[in-house]
Structure 1
Amino acid sequence: MDVFVCRCLDKAAVIVEEESKTGNYSNPWRLCTVTQVEELKILVRMFPIWATGIVFSAVYAQMSTMFVEQGMMMDTSVGSFTIPAASLSTFDVISVIFWVPVYDKFLVPIARKLTGKERGFSELQRMGIGLFISVLCMSAAAVIEIWRLNLANELGLVDEAVPVPISIFWQVPQYFLLGAAEIFTFIGQLEFFYDQSPDAMRSLCSALSLLTTSLGNYLSSFILTVVTSLTTRGGKDGWIPDNLNKGHLDYFFWLLAGLSFLNMVIYIYCAKIYKSKKAS
């Protein structure tokens, strides 16, 4: 496929008979320079890698949406204090602060010895690790939700929209894993787009990598809308009703974990066939 696309793009730099007769080579819509064609090829090769970041961003969006909904149905009290469910995103920040020095001081030297690369991990490897951690993050959230729903059933709280007596701090692992995934994927993505983009388009490509965040939020909303529409047919409560004790938020988390795993498999394939830009 890549070879076919590249051959098609090569034709943009070929002088046709009509241009040879008229001697007019100034129309950029009919004739491109070899440099322009090669730069476009680089962007085409980068596109699949960029697209896989959208699913990860959809997972990342759960930190401010479904994770908060889940936390509101758990015990948020610590002594006489009540912890807002949304405040647990602090542990994502703590995770980032923790993993940055650990990555630089411990993981990179170990990886450097194993791979022989100055950076330890390549940008593609770093993003792949982040995608794998995102699968673990959603799996952890699903396991906690299964536990919460089982306890709600045992205590007879299924029909009551009240928090289940499980400490909200059991959500910390999923926030911590999400922070680790963020370090590997987002930073690896920025490095990848900066290093691999055409020299004249580095700023644009770096900004393009950030576009995955907004598209990921749209994808998250789309998935939620589809899930709600499909699971509420026939008057059913659905996976995510107003009373989460009657729902199956765990199914939603497993769905995202499955999509993340499929996305990771596609990413691994795209990363293997990706041809790095020659050093300029």
Structure 2
Amino acid sequence: MKFWRESSSLAPVDSAGDETALERYTQNDTVDCEGRPANKATTGGWRCTPFIFGAEFAEKTAAFGAQFNMVNYLVGVKFLAKAYSANMVTNYLGTGYLMTLVGGIVADSFLGRFWTIFAAGTIQMMGFVVLMLTAFLPSLNNQYCEDDLKKDCRAAHGSSLSTIYVGLYLIAIGTGGIKACVSAFGADQFDSEDPREAKSLPHYFNVFFGSVEMGSLFASTLMIWIQEYKGWKWGYAILAIVMGAALVLLVSARRLFRYRVPRGSPFTPVARVFITALRNRKLPTPTDQSHLYTGPEEKAPQGVIRTSNLKFLEKAAVLREGEVATGEEPNPWRVANLQDVEDTKMLLRLLPILFSSFFYWTCSVQFSTFTVYQVATMDRRLGTMVVPSGTVGGVFLTVSILLTIIFYDRVIMRLIKRFTGNGQGISPLRKIGIGVITPAFAMMTAALIEMKRLRVVQDEHAEDSPATPLPMSMFWLVPQYLIIGSGQAFIYVGSLEFFYNESPRTMQSLGTALVSCTMSIGVFTSSAIVSTVNRATRHNHDGQWLGNNLNRSHLDRFYWVLGGLSLINVMFFLLAAWWHESVTRAFSSSAVAADPDASPPSAAPSAHQA
């Protein structure tokens, strides 16, 4: 099912010279739900973003409602080992992020962003239903304990454990499809070719991220309270209902949205370029651009800028003698279009930033797993109420992110505009850089606080009493959450802007999926590090670093290792950022030299502001 007609023309006006019509319709190839050129007065813009923000708030309430407290469900209800549970959660999160690549391909090739979001949301809702069954059906609860102290327990196994995996990975598949499309779908509501609408994009990404964090805050408070005190089956049932509400909200506004028609898999032209360049590897690279294939004359894009890097790929556009018959197009798997070559180069230029920014998420995921275990050993009293351990981390993290977003949007951006005249704020790449630096400080702070907690354990002789709360307040963890949360506000928003703006226009769903790809690499790296540390310290004379009894473990040493690795990663990122900036400057010089009035038809690298 589609909201657009395959046969509809995307030409925005019937008369190319009609300035009024040019102002009336979008110029970024978006259409309305009937397949007609999108009218700015009736579609898109801020009028429809409340529905996107509301749907994202509901979806994130459901997703985070499962994520924040999952380790407590696996350890406290299903009696799984702490390290196993931590890796189970991080692998589930990593799969969800990795599935964004699949979601991006499906959106760009077949369904479009809107229907990909709807289909993925439906799958995610099914996952919550399956998790509800694991808490509700007696046949799926085969864990048991020999005594009330829960010291000799048999963990969930067989069909019970398998069903948990099914539920988690259905949620992961759904999460991937939604993450790949929802931020880009919202950005499609603003015409990047209209200066008035384009300047709203940075503010849109900030508000979008704010809706994500409001869902996170709601999940970490009310949803976790329901799970802990009203029962896990009710907790997961409500998450399924919330996800259903998100889908209803999105569909209800379908006539207000602007849609981008699927153009085919973004990987197809990339594959053509690599295969054809490899086939033509022995051919010389022409110095004259006129010797490179730019497409049929009537369809060839104007102003294609030939960049000076990755010259090997240009061999894909070299025409062999007799390759093209008069009036015919060549086989695209034998001769690539120069624009496809430049789009492939543009995508490859993003990879160093991707591979140098993932380690933030390696560190951040610890605050959803091992830090939750820490909180469970601490004094969590707030007045007469005992705060669930899953709530503590979720609230601390979310509040720090929201405060950072508000402070940046309302204070820093206004100061930058006042003193520099730049209303765009800090450049996306610099935002990512701020985020990359913060894990080093966060993990070192976390290590110091864990050392303090272990001293309290020794003073209280509580080494063998991990279930007894220590006389150490949960508020000791605020500094580490404040640092990592501030970093997340910068790196997530900066990454969304960076990969969306600097991806070829035909690959923007894939571009935003790369943001989640960095998260996927990060959390899978976390799983690998946890497994390695577990094996390496299993027989330590002074105790395993990540054992089931946190009071006899050495979590502080694990945090010191992550802090040191974070510093190394900062060096790698600085090199990647320097390379990207130098390539961007070279691109701008090439563009001016080739044609001062020309701009690449897909997507030029965005200007790096302050």
TM-score by length of 1: 0.89
Give the letter aligned to residue 16 of structure 1.
R
Structure with more of its chain in helix, by fraction: 1
Q: Which moved more, 1:187-196 or 1:44-53?
A: 44-53
Question: 1:69 — aligned with what?
Answer: 373
Q: Which residue of 2 aligns with 1:243?
A: 549
Match of 1:74, SS? Answer: coil
User: Which residue number corresponds to residue 95 of structure 1?
Assistant: 400
Q: Mean alpha-carbon deviation: is it higher for 50-59 or for 152-161?
A: 152-161
Identify the range of structure 1 (204-213 vs 193-202) with the bigger mean alpha-carbon deviation: 204-213
Identity %: 35
Partner Cα separation in structure 2 for residue 119 and residue 156 of structure 1: 55
Give the distance between the partners of 2:458 and 2:431, measured in 1 at CA. Answer: 41
**Residue identity in the other structure for 2:310:** C
Contact 1:130 1:182 in 2 (8 A): yes
- After TM superposition, the structure 1 = structure 2 runs for residues 223-238 of structure 1, keeping only pairs within 5 Å, are 223-233=529-539, 237-238=543-544
CA contact (8 A) 1:138 1:257 kept: yes
Q: Which amino acid aligns with 2:567?
A: F
Equivalent of residue 15 in structure 1, options 306, 313, 319 = 319
Bigger drift between 5-14 and 176-185 goes to 5-14
RMSD: 2.6
Structure with greater contact order relative to length (CA < 8 Å, sep ≥ 6):
1
Larger deviation: 96-105 or 113-122? 113-122
Instruction: Say which is worse superposed, 66-75 or 148-157, in terms of deviation.
Output: 148-157
Per mean C-alpha deviation after superposition, the further-off stretch among 243-252 and 77-86 is 77-86
Residues 124-164 of structure 1 show CA distances to partners (whole Å, capped at 9, x for unaligned) of 11111111122222122111101111222233223443443
Residue 60 (1) aligns with residue 60 (2): no
**2:429 aligned with 1:124:** yes
Structure 2 matches for 1:1-280, cutoff 5 A?
6-17=310-321, 19=323, 26-88=330-392, 89-112=394-417, 117-161=422-466, 162-233=468-539, 237-274=543-580, 275-276=583-584, 280=604
Aligned structure 1 segments of 4 or more residues deviating by more than 6 angstroms: 20-25
Structure 1: where are the runs of 5+ without partners? Answer: none
CA shift digits 1:148-186 (9 cap, x unpaired) = 112222332234434432111111222222221111000
Structure 1 residues 214 and 258: alpha-carbon distance in aligned structure 2, compared to 1, 3 A threshold: same
Query: Is contact 1:115–1:121 with CA below 8 Å preserved after alignment?
Result: no
CA deviation after TM superposition for structure 1 residue 18, in Å: 7.1
1:33/1:62 CA distance change after superposition, 3 Å: same
- TM-score between the two structures when normalised by the length of structure 2: 0.43
Do 1:129 and 1:181's aligned partners in 2 also have CA atoms closer than 8 Å?
yes
Per-residue Cα deviation, 1:205-231 (whole angstroms, up to 9, x for no partner): 112212222332222111111110111
* Partner deviation per Cα, 1:28-73 (whole Å, 9 max, x = no partner): 2222111111111111110010122321112221121011011112
Q: What are structure 2's unaligned runs of at least 5 residues?
A: 1-306, 589-598, 605-610
Q: Is the 8 A contact 1:113 1:120 kept in 2?
A: no
Kept after mapping to 2: 8 A contact 1:142/1:254: yes
User: 2:472 corresponds to which letter in structure 1?
Assistant: I
The answer to whether the 8 A contact 1:19-1:25 is kept is no
The structure having more radius of gyration, on CA atoms, is: 2
- Structure 1 residue 76, shift from structure 2 partner: 1.9
Alpha-carbon shift at residue 266 of structure 1 (Å): 0.7
Instruction: Give the partner amino acid of 1:168.
Output: M
